[in-house]
Structures are given as structure tokens and as C-alpha cells.
Amino acid sequence: MIAEDAGLSKKDAEHLLSTMNAIIRENLMAEKAIQLQGLGVFEIKERQARVVVHPRTGERTEVPSKNQLVFRPVSNIKDELKKV
Amino acid sequence: MAEKLSWTELRRALAVRAGVSEKTAGLFLNGYISQLINGLKDDKQVKINGLGTFKLQAVAPRKSVNVSTGEEIVIEGYNKIVFSPEAGLKELIESQKPSGVSLQPLVFNDQPDEGDFPIDPIKKLGEQADEIVGLLAEIDSIEEPKEPEVPEVPEEPEVVVEEPKVVAEEPEVVAEEPKVVAEEPEVVVEEPEIIVQGPEKPEKKKYHFFRDVLICVLILLLLLAGGYFFLRSQLSGILESMLKPEPAQTEQVEEQKEDDEGEEDPMIALIPEGDIPQEQILEEFNAISGEPDEEAYSDLITIEPMHEGSRLTWMSKRFYGDKRFWPYIYDANRDQIVNPSNIEVGTPIRVPRLTQAQMDTTNSAAMEALEKLRIEAEEACKK
């Protein structure tokens, strides 16, 4: 389908797709955000460490901080998809 | 996360890596994005292998309030885009250490204790009383096994000498009671100290010190407990005298009845508080701070003899925290109460434990039942 849109061969499109995934992954691993115009931004956010309490035992455990992949759509896409 | 791979950078990188022109890469990216959006519109879900899934999630309409006008408005439902990364990618990213933080979950074992202790001084008086009673019982039980241990200790005669001492000191304790009351704030401050000392005791292995400390603590506790009960009875005296005008206003029917009868008004004399046996107060105490799950009507909080100057409404206020529930007490004692506004002094009054539903003033069914009982009680007054 992308191939049709962009006037590319299916093989090329698949190649490009996998390459793109690789690029996205690499940049994310380097904690770099990726901007996709007209769609949104992939970025890594740090979730802060927090203390959770086991409801039954009352034991307190600290959940360590971790990174999370977050996708932030741009506002016009958000609006466009609000009503479908 | 200051760095950002811009659109042009992405396009260039894609072109170089895939060996195509930048123009082709740009076309591809545009197609990629429009396909994604169309897919979301049509299927509400788009999965990209090696990356993750985009989903459209419906958010239900909800009510809200206009902050400035207080008007109720409805926020209409909408769709939002949710992206969940593929499991492999997610793990990969999560396994990245945020700078300088260990991944090991830390378990705080001591923290719950630390968390509990600051609460101690705020504990309700009733709870403290319970604790003291518990500690007293604990100490008594510790004291008994002490005697078999005595033969092990070489100073047998000393023990014999010391034990009468304790007994001899006890009258002193009683004599000191008023003193304690005079030092109200001190008493309150000292109580938590004892609570801290309590758990320490079993750890002490030196019998020499153990016995001495035990005796000291025992005396202290007796003193405090005595002072506490005295204080408590004093307080309840103040409370009752404060409450005195209130029932007069709200229960005009009873009041009128009493006025008609003239001299037989039992309200007049408030008996001195010292007359109430301490055991009884203790009993009330346990009852008040008792478990919240009340069950049957037959389940009693306590049986309290009617004393001079008391009234059912005051008992209701004391046991249930609201004087409106007095008809329940009347209902539980119908067999011995002829006239609820004129009960014979000394009549053992059963105070039933009420259910949450019965004490719920918003529960119209319970309130109706209460009203019915109240009317019955008032009719009994007129007989």
C-alpha cells in the first residue's frame, strides 16, 4: 500500500520499512527522539522511581526508575482522529 | 532527552542506509504516515512489525463542571491515539539504565515501623487506654513466671524483701493520683514513652535489672492508669454538664412531661464522678473503641446501671455519639422501663450495639424505624 502511494516497488518499500525500523530503534536506544512529520514524536521518557506498598503485607518496595517509549501524536492528527 | 531526530535527518539517514535517493525516502515516509493514519481511521488499529501498535481508544463522554460558572457541562467522548511498543522493543528500552540508578528493587523492611511510630502520640485516648490495659496484663503475665526463676538467682531474700515493697508503695500511688491530674500535659507526653519501653522488656536478659525495671515500670503504669482514669472521669463529667442544656431544648416532650410531674425530675442532681466505679469506665472504654462491625440488636455494648441524673439520651450520646438514637436503648429495655423519662435509679440498662445501617442518618428506612420507636417511647411517657 505504501508502495502504491509513493510509487515504489513492493520490494523497495519493504526494504525501506525495515531500514526505517532499524533507524528508529537505534535512535531510541541512544535516547534520541524521532519526529515524524504530520504524525507525532517517539521519545523516551524516564519514569521516576516510586515506592509501592504491598496491600496485604504492607511491605514497601521501591520500583526503580525506568525508561519508557512514549508516542506523542501531533495535535492536528489528534483532532482528526477524535471523531471517526 | 534533549536531542531529537528531525524529519530531514530521518529522511537522510533512511536514504543513506537503504541506498535510495532522499526524494524516494521522503515519498516513502509520507506514504508511511498517510497509510498509518488511514489505517487508524478505518481499522482503529495499526500494527507495525518491529515497532509496536497504534490504536484508537474511545474515551467515553463524561460530565464536568464549568469552573468559573459552576455550570454542569458534558465533555463529549472522543478517540485518542494510544501507542504500545512491541514487547521486545519495550524491554530493550526499559533495560536501559536511567543514569545513576540501580535496577535492584530496594525493600524497606524497617520503614513500616518508622511509619507507625509518629502516629502514636496522635492515637485516641481510648486506644491508649486499651494499650495500657494490654501492657498491664502483659506485665502481670510476665511477673508470674518470674517466681520460678528466683531460685536461679542467688539473692533469694532480697526478692522477698522487695515484693512487699511494691505492695507498700501502692497506697502511695493512689495517694498521688490527684497530682497526676494536675500535671495533665505531662501525662499525655509520658504515655508514648511507655509504649516504647514495652517491647524492649522481653529482650533484657539480665534478671537483676529486669526485675527492678519491671517494678519501676509497673508502678509508673499504675500511676498513669490511675491518673488517666481519673482524668477521663473528670472529662466525662465536664462533657455531661456541657450536654445538659442540649437535651432540654431538643426533647421538649420529655421536658414538658417532667415539668408536669414537677418534683420527680431526675435531671437535677449530677452525681459526683468519683462514684462511678473505675471498672465500669474501663468497660465503657473498651466498648467505645470496639470493633466497627456491629451485628445483631441482641449484641450488647454494655449493661450499665441507671444512675441518678442520667438519661437515655446522654447514654445514646456517649455510646453512639449521637443522642438521637436513644429510642434504640429504650427499645432494648422495654421490659424494665415503664416511663423512659423517669427510670428508676439502679435499673440495669442494656446498651445494644447498633449496626451501621441503624446509625446512618441518611438512610430513610432506618430513620423511619427510629422515629416510630421514638413515638412509642413518648407515648409510654404519657401513660
Closest-CA distance of chain A to residue B22, Å: 12
Q: Which residues contact A83 (CB under 8 A, 6 or more apart)?
A: B78, B79
- Tell me what ipTM this predicted complex has: 0.78
Residue A37, chain B, CB below 8 Å: the answer is yes
Least confident of B7-21, B197-211, B240-254: B240-254
Q: Test B93 with A44 for CB contact under 8 angstroms.
A: yes
| Residue B100, Ramachandran bin (φ over 0: left; ψ between -120 and 50: alpha; else beta) | left
Number of H helices, E strands in chain B: 15, 9
Taking contacts as CB-CB distances below 8 angstroms, the residues of chain B near A16 are 14, 18, 20, 24-25, 28
Angle at B349 between CA B343 and CA B351, to 5 degrees: 130
Residues A28 and A41 reside in one and the same domain: no
What is the rounded distance in angstroms from the CA atom of residue B40 to the CA atom of residue B56? 7
Q: Locate B78 and state its grid cell.
A: 472522543
Residue A1 confidence class, pLDDT cut points 50, 70, 90: low
Residue B305 confidence class, pLDDT cut points 50, 70, 90: confident
Least confident of B6-10, B239-243, B261-265: B261-265
- Indicate if the pLDDT at residue B268 is higher than 60: no
Residues A26 and A37 reside in one and the same domain: no
Residues A41 and A55 reside in one and the same domain: yes
Among A5, A33, A49, select the one facing B31 at the smallest CB separation: A5
Going from N- to C-terminal start, the domains of chain B cover 1-57, 117-238, 258-382
Residue A81 confidence class, pLDDT cut points 50, 70, 90: confident
- Say if residues A20 and B32 touch (Cβ distance below 8 Å): yes
Least confident of A45-54, B104-113, B127-136, B145-154: B145-154
Taking contacts as CB-CB distances below 8 angstroms, the residues of chain A near B100 are none
pLDDT number for residue B240: 66
Which residue matches cell numbers 466497627? B292
Residue-wise pLDDT tens digits, B136-190: 777 777 655 444 444 444 444 444 444 444 444 444 444 444 444 444 444 444 4
Instruction: Give the domain range for residue A38.
Output: 33-84
Residues A5 and A27 reside in one and the same domain: yes
Substitution target from A14, A21, A32, A37 for chain B, most B beta carbons within 10 A: A37
| Arithmetic mean of pLDDT, B83-99 | 76
| Arithmetic mean of pLDDT, A50-69 | 83
Asked whether the whole model's pTM tops 0.80, one would answer: no
Substitution target from A12, A17, A45, A56 for chain B, most B beta carbons within 10 A: A17
Rounded mean pLDDT of chain B? Answer: 67
Substitution target from B12, B93, B111, B113 for chain A, most A beta carbons within 10 A: B93
pLDDT number for residue B2: 55
Taking contacts as CB-CB distances below 8 angstroms, the residues of chain A near B114 are none
Residue-wise pLDDT tens digits, B25-59: 888 888 888 888 888 888 888 888 878 888 888 88
Residues A60 and A83 reside in one and the same domain: yes
- Phi and psi at B70, nearest 5°, equal 75, 5
| Percent of residues, chain B, with pLDDT higher than 70 | 58
* 28-87 in chain B: CB under 8 A from chain A: 28-37, 40-41, 44, 48-52, 54, 56, 78-81, 83, 85
Residue B119, chain A, CB below 8 Å: the answer is no
Residues A4 and A40 reside in one and the same domain: no
Q: What is the CATH number of the domain that holds A42?
A: 4.10.520.10
Nearest CA among B36, B39, B13, B37 for reference residue B26: B13
Residues A52 and A68 reside in one and the same domain: yes
Q: Test B7 with A37 for CB contact under 8 angstroms.
A: yes
Any alpha helices (H) in B183-277, and if so which ranges?
Answer: 184-200, 207-243, 245-250, 252-261
What is the rounded distance in angstroms from the CA atom of residue A68 to the CA atom of residue B6? 20
- Indicate if the pLDDT at residue B203 is higher than 80: no
Closest-CA distance of chain A to residue B362, Å: 31
Residue type at position B19:
G
Residues A21 and A52 reside in one and the same domain: no
Residue A56, chain B, CB below 8 Å: the answer is no
Nearest CA among B121, B236, B232, B226 for reference residue B179: B226
pLDDT number for residue A6: 64
B377 vs B296, higher pLDDT: B377
Residues A7 and A27 reside in one and the same domain: yes
Among B35, B54, B78, select the one facing A5 at the smallest CB separation: B35
Residues A1 and A25 reside in one and the same domain: yes
| Arithmetic mean of pLDDT, B49-73 | 87
pLDDT number for residue B124: 59
Residue A52, chain B, CB below 8 Å: the answer is no
Residues A76 and A37 reside in one and the same domain: yes
Q: Test B94 with A5 for CB contact under 8 angstroms.
A: no
Q: Which residues contact A20 (CB under 8 A, 6 or more apart)?
A: B10, B14, B28, B29, B32
Residue of B nearest to A70 (CA): B83
Residues A9 and A43 reside in one and the same domain: no
Which residue matches cell numbers 518491529? B50
Residue A74 confidence class, pLDDT cut points 50, 70, 90: confident
Looking at the structure of chain A, the number of domains it has is: 2
Q: Locate B123 and state its grid cell.
A: 492515637
Residue A74, chain B, CB below 8 Å: the answer is no
